Structure 1
Amino acid sequence: MKAGSDDETEDGIQESPIAHKILKLFCELEDCNEEDQKQKVLKMSGLVEEMGREEFNSAFTTGLFNRMNKMIEEEKLSMRNVCLLLKHVGYCIELKSGWSDGFLESLLIKRIEEMLIDENEKKKEEKDENLFVDLCECYFSLSYYFSGEVLSICVSCLLKASSNKEENVEVQKEVEMALLALSNTEYYKIGKNQYLKEMLEIMQHHQEHRNLTHLAYQSAWKFLIKRVYNDESLEEMIVNELHFAREAARELEELVRCVDWTRKGDEICKREKKRAKIIIRWLDVIYEFLRQRTLWNEEFVGLISSIVQVYRASRDNHSEISYLCIYSLRTAAENRNVKVENLLKGEAFDAVLEEIHRSTLDDKIAHDSLIFFMKVSRRLKEKTDGETDERKRKAMKMKLFEKMEEEGYEEAITSFHEIFDFLNEERFTQISSNISYYFINI
């Protein structure tokens, strides 16, 4: 592999300037001692933060990972420096919601799997605990397919690393990386006895002492909520013992205050970009919970309010976040365990009404706004939606009708009528062509 060969990788893919720099630095590693290698690896890590997904894939190919593996084998590159780079690459991939097929298909992943099994079988006094944790983090952060044996080994190791309660920046960063790696296990079935006690302790300790970073805490929640798919008994604990809605609302409110929402594009600093990514990760987890869970308590009204707060802050300069907010509100409206009254209290109606009047309204948000109103309208026409007090239900319908009338809702929705078929075609989800389905009949 020659970094300077007409700006192409060995696969013939055109390199970006950043990918070219990374490959050039990588080619220099072979002639360096371990300390000089570390400095070049740190430079490479810094460049990775600036890369998009296509740029990443043009540099970090299967061939590059295989070459790393060969250099380790020939003792020309230390495993510690490889881990240093891979951990940072995995961190960036997780925050950018990407993946690395190149790593999954490489000889390097096989080496790491073998090292994890070997290290796990060593006696305690023989183990290199730091290297063991690093290998687990590399494996989970860069993969999306895990063998059963290695999955169990890594979960146990990373939970132990995540349980470190020392409150200093270095430890917090390591705990963050361990929890971020754990959150990548997605829907893998992991027995409660493998994680529940430790994860409960980690989260409850944080709720009392606030010792985790925002990303670490969000990652812990992502890990736990993904487990509900294989074990619905966790739902009671998530809602009423760990107070998911309360905690998610508090985190969103803190994060939204830490971003200057008037900036956009290149004006946004690295720290604010990271906070915006964490907000996106929270909204993804909230959506996952809302779309199929059945338990609901009054704390979710505060969560709806927080989503609305994020929407209003982000709608002018961060389209991805504002869209996810509207999508979350639509998902809440579709969940019959979320009372319409709570959507009203949380100002969900106000937010969606505000959105449909915007001149910059795009097709996907128009589609989800229509679904929001269609679902609510249908539910208010029924008497079997948990609203047992008929007078209360009629009063709420009147309140909503007046609100919509004041905001010119009827005119706005009617203007969408001629593009219903187009929106259905674009979004692959059926919305009704009957205009009356979107109005509150009092």
Structure 2
Amino acid sequence: METNNTKMFTEMFSEFENDAEEGQKQKIEEINEILDEMDEAEFYSIFTKEMFEKIDQMIEKKKLTLENAILLLKHIGYHNVIVKFFKFDFHVSSLRFRIENMITEEEKKKEGKNEKPLVDLCECNLLLSNGFISEPIISVCVTYVLKVAMSKEEGEEARKDVEMALLALSNTMYYFIEQKLYLKEIKDIVQYHQEHRNLTRLAYQSVWQFLFCRLLCDRRLEDVILNKLQFEREAIRELEELTKCIDWKKNEDKLKEMEEENLLERWIIALNIYFKEFQIRKKEHVVLIECIVQIYQASRSNYIEICNLCICLLKVILIRKNAEIEDLLKGGAVEAVLEEIQRPTLDDEMVYHILMFFVNASRRLKEEERKEMKRKVFEKLEEEGYEDTIASLFETFDFLNRKYYDELSLDISNYFVNI
């Protein structure tokens, strides 16, 4: 069904062919404001393969200048990465191959190479491709985009250029990229920011996102991330600052709210990778767990996506044994999961994550700790009606076993009474 946002976009886009270059540029800025308001369904309905084919044809027929096309595609790519629309058809469109061919042709030039449009095209490709970039192209894109990301220029426009470059690099998914292409530069960017605080919050998070994408293919990065760049210390500070600046009662400024909400989600997803990949216990884990619990409690009423991400992250920390069970108890993780299990709108997936938390917690608890946890479970569940909670969860067990391939006992009381 067509909404106001999709209708306005369609009307503006249909007028592109009749506009001069400056008129197109003005409309592109107006389109960006519409993109700020779009939800996932609206975005999917607009940016189909057919839409990218239209843009490609407009470039081919010179009805859309390359400069304006890049401006439009950067706006689209920015929203693609921030909101993470995975069902995105850019990679199967002729526009993707046009951009890759243009990058290749410009890169091959021995003389007269124009780096500005080359960098812009590389950024567009990284922002839009979602993991579908030709292997020879990825190293070219990383090399040129890093040049922009390393800029130390001051001023709002320069900071935005660096932010866009780092955001593009953060969308490189699971490619293996040789360390020689990026590691020295990325370390310089992080360490300079740690000293001077020159990056925007999104730019700084994007640096870490890029590193974690590399970590999944290159275990040699562990020492750099853990020790040289002090990831956990940095994550704690960023989470604490974001928690303070978000209006958890839902700010009327929707754009500001979305930016901060999405940025916090990106940090939690990065932490999920961190705890899955690193089996190391550090004293900072207690503080980090406390941060996650604090975010969970703040988000529980109005930010369900963040709330769910926090519970899943606590489960990962427990299962991967990154923290002592005492640290999880001290940090408030068990209380947070107990609070969540009483949510009246709890879906099957969250029931699964919660039950797996308790299953693995019970295996790691000593006898006296198990009794204390059992007492806390009883107290929490009795507040809302223990039998009702048990009955409501029992109905989901067969489904959960089939969906997640786990042997969860049909005697659900085992998770709460006999643990």
Q: Same fold (TM over 0.5)?
A: yes
Q: Please tell me whether the aligned partners of residues 289 and 333 of structure 2 are also in contact (alpha carbons under 8 angstroms).
A: yes
The residue type paired with residue 128 of structure 1 is: N
* Equivalent residue runs for 1:261-340 within 5 Å: 261-263=248-250, 267=252, 269-340=254-325
Aligned to 1:378: 363
Q: Please tell me whether the aligned partners of residues 16 and 64 of structure 2 are also in contact (alpha carbons under 8 angstroms).
A: yes
Distance 1:346 1:424 in 2: 32
Distance 1:278 1:79 in 2: 30
Distance 1:411 1:263 in 2: 27
Match of residue 240, structure 1, among 223, 227, 240: 227
The residue type paired with residue 282 of structure 2 is: N
Distance 2:222 2:359 in 1: 28
Distance 1:185 1:15 in 2: 32
Q: Deviations over 1:336-391 (max 9, x none)?
A: 232112212222122122223444544433332222122111112xxxxxxxxxxx
Q: Deviations over 1:49-79 (max 9, x none)?
A: 2222332233233333223223222322210
Identity level (%): 42
Change over 3 Å in CA distance of 1:377–1:83 after alignment to 2: same
* Equivalent residue runs for 1:135-154 within 5 Å: 135-144=121-130, 145-154=132-141
Task: Determine if the alignment matches structure 1 residue 422 to structure 2 residue 396.
Answer: yes
Q: Deviations over 1:176-223 (max 9, x none)?
A: 111111111111111111111111111111122211111111111111
Distance 1:396 1:417 in 2: 22
Match of residue 174, structure 2, among 167, 187, 190: 187
SS in 2 for 1:233: helix
Distance 1:355 1:69 in 2: 48
Change over 3 Å in CA distance of 1:154–1:403 after alignment to 2: same
Q: Please tell me whether the aligned partners of residues 250 and 257 of structure 2 are also in contact (alpha carbons under 8 angstroms).
A: no
Distance 1:440 1:422 in 2: 20
* Equivalent residue runs for 1:202-281 within 5 Å: 202-263=189-250, 267=252, 269-281=254-266
Distance 1:16 1:257 in 2: 34
Deviates more, 1:349-358 or 1:367-376: 349-358
Q: Provide runs of 4+ in structure 1 moved above 6 Å.
A: 409-414
Distance 1:190 1:83 in 2: 25
Q: Please tell me whether the aligned partners of residues 127 and 171 of structure 2 are also in contact (alpha carbons under 8 angstroms).
A: yes
Match of residue 409, structure 2, among 420, 423, 432: 432
Q: Deviations over 1:226-250 (max 9, x none)?
A: 2122111212221222222221121
Change over 3 Å in CA distance of 1:315–1:24 after alignment to 2: same
Aligned to 2:341: 356
- 1:284 is displaced (CA, Å) by 1.1
- What is the TM-score when the length of structure 2 is the normalising length? 0.90
- The Cα RMSD (Å) is 2.5
Residue-pair matches, total: 413
Aligned to 1:388: none
Aligned to 1:133: 119
- 1:270 is displaced (CA, Å) by 0.9
Distance 2:14 2:340 in 1: 51
Distance 1:68 1:226 in 2: 30
The residue type paired with residue 74 of structure 1 is: K
Q: Please tell me whether the aligned partners of residues 246 and 302 of structure 1 are also in contact (alpha carbons under 8 angstroms).
A: no
Distance 1:100 1:137 in 2: 20
Change over 3 Å in CA distance of 1:412–1:213 after alignment to 2: farther
Distance 2:118 2:47 in 1: 23
Change over 3 Å in CA distance of 1:328–1:113 after alignment to 2: same
The residue type paired with residue 134 of structure 1 is: D
Q: Please tell me whether the aligned partners of residues 310 and 325 of structure 1 are also in contact (alpha carbons under 8 angstroms).
A: yes
Task: Determine if the alignment matches structure 1 residue 49 to structure 2 residue 27.
Answer: no
Q: Please tell me whether the aligned partners of residues 281 and 324 of structure 2 are also in contact (alpha carbons under 8 angstroms).
A: no
Q: Please tell me whether the aligned partners of residues 290 and 331 of structure 1 are also in contact (alpha carbons under 8 angstroms).
A: yes
- 1:19 is displaced (CA, Å) by 2.3
Q: Please tell me whether the aligned partners of residues 374 and 438 of structure 1 are also in contact (alpha carbons under 8 angstroms).
A: no
Q: Please tell me whether the aligned partners of residues 233 and 284 of structure 2 are also in contact (alpha carbons under 8 angstroms).
A: yes
Aligned to 1:30: 17
SS in 2 for 1:120: helix
- 1:16 is displaced (CA, Å) by 3.3
SS in 1 for 2:337: helix
Change over 3 Å in CA distance of 1:135–1:285 after alignment to 2: same
The residue type paired with residue 135 of structure 1 is: L
Q: Please tell me whether the aligned partners of residues 355 and 415 of structure 2 are also in contact (alpha carbons under 8 angstroms).
A: no
The residue type paired with residue 221 of structure 2 is: L
- Unmatched 5+ stretches in structure 1: 1-13, 381-392
Change over 3 Å in CA distance of 1:236–1:36 after alignment to 2: same
Distance 1:181 1:246 in 2: 25
Task: Determine if the alignment matches structure 1 residue 89 to structure 2 residue 63.
Answer: no
- Unmatched 5+ stretches in structure 2: none
Q: Please tell me whether the aligned partners of residues 362 and 370 of structure 2 are also in contact (alpha carbons under 8 angstroms).
A: no
Distance 1:350 1:203 in 2: 35
Distance 2:59 2:346 in 1: 53
- 1:314 is displaced (CA, Å) by 0.6
The residue type paired with residue 152 of structure 1 is: S
Q: Deviations over 1:10-45 (max 9, x none)?
A: xxxx54332232222222222222112111111122
The residue type paired with residue 233 of structure 1 is: R
Match of residue 97, structure 2, among 97, 107, 110: 110
- What is the TM-score when the length of structure 1 is the normalising length? 0.86
Q: Please tell me whether the aligned partners of residues 47 and 88 of structure 2 are also in contact (alpha carbons under 8 angstroms).
A: no
Change over 3 Å in CA distance of 1:200–1:332 after alignment to 2: same
